[in-house]
Amino acid sequence: QKEVEQDPGPLSVPEGAIVSLNCTYSNSAFQYFMWYRQYSRKGPELLMYTYSSGNKEDGRFTAQVDKSSKYISLFIRDSQPSDSATYLCAMIPDEKLTFGTGTRLTIIP
């Protein structure tokens, strides 16, 4: 079993919809949680970074962490075609980043 599980998709939603992306993890030692966005032929870029359980908002993006369930989510409100990308969750257990496999998201105009 992988330490971080992420549904690879693909996920297609109409423009303007709310998108929910999720990851589960098995190691309770994970402390820091991140979401990266990766466009085709580009490297990942950091979207959100959070430490504690609860919600963190940044514009149209909300990151949610539930440490008791070992579950993290990224919500995208008012989705735009420019949000079409692969979204990767990442966590730090022991000074190394561990990534999910990524979810490919397509926003349909």
With respect to other proteins, which residue has the nearer C-beta, 45 or 58? Answer: 45
Residue 25 found at the interface with other proteins (CB under 8 A)? no
Q: Which residues contact 74 (CB under 8 A, 6 or more apart)?
A: 19, 20, 21, 22, 35, 47, 48, 61, 62, 63, 64, 87, 89
Residue 42 found at the interface with other proteins (CB under 8 A)? yes
Contact 22, 72 (CB under 8 A): yes
Residue 88 found at the interface with other proteins (CB under 8 A)? yes
Q: State the minimum distance, in angstroms, from the CB of residue 46 to other proteins.
A: 6
Question: Using CB under 8 A, which of 35, 44, 48, 105 touches other proteins?
Answer: 44
Q: Which residues contact 95 (CB under 8 A, 6 or more apart)?
A: none
Binding site for other proteins (CB under 8 A): 6, 32, 41-46, 49, 88, 90, 92, 95-102
